[in-house]
Amino acid sequence: MILSLLIFLPLIGSLLVALLPESQTAQCRWIALILTLGEVVLAGMACAGFDKTVAGYQLLEQANWITLPLGGLGIASIDYLVAVDGISLPLVVLSAVVMLIGVVSSWSMTKRLKAYYSLYLLLTGSIMGCFLALDFFLFFLFFEFMLLPMYFLIGLWGGPRREYASIKFFLYTLLGSLLILLVMIGLYLSVMDPVSTAVAAGLVPDPSAVTTEIVRNIQAYLQNGQLNPAYVVHTFDMRYLSDGGNYLPNTFLNPASEPIVLGLPARMLAFWAIFIGFAIKLPVVPLHTWLPDAHVEAPTPVSVVLAGVLLKIGGYGFIRIVWNFFPDGASEYAQILAGLGVLSIVYGGLTALAQTDLKKMIAYSSVSHMGFVLLGVASLTAEGINGAVYQMVSHGILSAMLFLIVGVVYDRTHDRRIDSYRGLMQPMPKYTTLTAIAFFGSLGLPGFSGFVGELFTLMGSFQSEWLPGWLTALATTGILLAAAYFLWTFQRMFFGPTWVRPFESQSGPISVLSDLTAREKLMLIPLGAMALILGLFPNLVFNLTNATVSQWLVKFAVE
């Protein structure tokens, strides 16, 4: 029950916090801290129980949720189905760590504590549900649940333009959700569950008796029209949605029928629709414009969660859903997809270079770094896919660290402008050291995790039979741009004589720049250590991902 606890422990905690009497509001912080610390422990237990040599799903939990006979239309079936594999487990661990850091970062919150921590814990459970759900309907529920708490966390606790940023975030994400919903319904109507169908047809007494041979027989009966439609069990199970043998004849998304819609084969149209849905979440240029506004207006803990975890659901959706269900679209449009990734890398880097707001610069750097994820996934190589997952983990750690670094100076001066600071190295040496680690790790310095992720995505892209070499060469300019904007920012803010732009309500602006507090060290030092450890020992991630990615690519080649 480890995976169910990962999902429902924070959800129950969210309800508990909401029901606390006003006299005990201060306990919200401790409840959130204990629960997110419990999430880290549970994620560690999942790692301990995970067999790295097995490529399939592990720790699987399944229970029938909804079963509805529809007569001649078959049987509707939705399951509570959760599991982990080598792709999802690293992201589960990342989520647990980042959500814990976010609670520590939230310790200084004073406004509407009950509402804040209740929404935060609801967001935590929803994120875990997205990475653990193996039923597409269940995944979509958690995907939608994330929208509500993020909207309020930005809209109620954000900056001066928080209403605009939260509405923009809501509308963009809702558009993506609607596109995903349409494709999800199309897949559901086009696919059967061979195991439940065999039971419904009376071929076996229960699911445990179903063998591989029986599954092949059911699939053959289906394609030959020998299966009574009343016995067909429609499913959202991702394991069956990715198997071409389970598609019903003459349905909308059957690869063999290929109806034409708006001048495109239906499957290709569905591919682009669901791709856009997750591309908004990643985000991919030109669907990225919600992200800088959301980051700039969001409070520091929400920015940490947004960059550290939420963006990764877009990359995870590419691998688990888009590429897995539509391998024909992924291979046919590989160059276009990789081109969008390169566009994000270059555009995000150039735009970050032009920023004067430190937080907005880091937001655009996230657009650039997540472009490497799309490039790696589009390469359809073992190096590229492993590199994409590693890049998501690495960026989750480093981006969380970067936004915490912005929060340190903003808490002291309420100013995020890069040109408002000079010579911070003298009054804040510990802060300078940790900022250097975050900056150099993010620009891809060897020895840090950022280098490994970008290296493997570029290696996979160069070796890909689908992509031209010039496209990958163009992507390498993103590393040069990252070095430019991070080093230029570091030089302007930390070198030279100490100076801080005067600000209101402080008689001595320089004296307020005290070095890191114990709470700030507690957040930043572990993240910096993780970036260094993963950079020196990348197999901590690759040992988890490699077997699953190898199986994923074999399945893709068969398709």
**261 pLDDT more than 50:** yes
pLDDT of residue 504: 54
Average pLDDT over residues 64-83: 84
pLDDT of residue 370: 95
pLDDT of residue 557: 59
CA–CA dist 80, 59 (Å, integer): 14
CA 184 vs CA 64, 128, 139, 323: distances in Å: 19, 20, 11, 14
pLDDT of residue 363: 94
CA–CA dist 369, 341 (Å, integer): 9
- % of the chain beyond a pLDDT of 90: 69
Q: 9 or 413, which is more confident?
A: 9
Q: Nearest Cα to 130, choosing from 91, 79, 75?
A: 91
pLDDT of residue 555: 67
The burial class, CB within 10 Å (0-12 / 13-18 / 19+), for 25 is middle
pLDDT 10s digits, 148-206 = 999 999 999 988 889 999 999 999 999 999 999 999 999 998 888 888 888 888 888 88
**136 pLDDT more than 90:** yes
Distance from chain centroid for Cα 161 = 25
**508 pLDDT more than 80:** no
Determine which of 52-66, 250-264, 295-309 has the lowest per-residue pLDDT on average: 250-264
CA–CA dist 6, 28 (Å, integer): 19
pLDDT of residue 184: 94
Average pLDDT over residues 275-297: 93
Q: pLDDT class for 101, splitting at 50, 70, 90? A: very high
In one-letter notation, the amino acid at residue 508 is G
pLDDT of residue 485: 95
pLDDT mean across residues, the chain: 90
pTM over 0.85? The answer is: yes
pLDDT of residue 14: 94
Q: pLDDT class for 558, splitting at 50, 70, 90? A: very low
Beta strands in 396-512 (DSSP E): 421-422, 499-500
Average pLDDT over residues 31-44: 96
CA–CA dist 69, 510 (Å, integer): 71
- % of the chain beyond a pLDDT of 70: 97
pLDDT of residue 25: 85
Instruction: List, in order, residues 6 or more apart from 286 with CB less than 8 Å away.
Output: none
Average pLDDT over residues 325-350: 94
Instruction: List, in order, residues 6 or more apart from 189 with CB less than 8 Å away.
Output: 234, 248, 251, 252
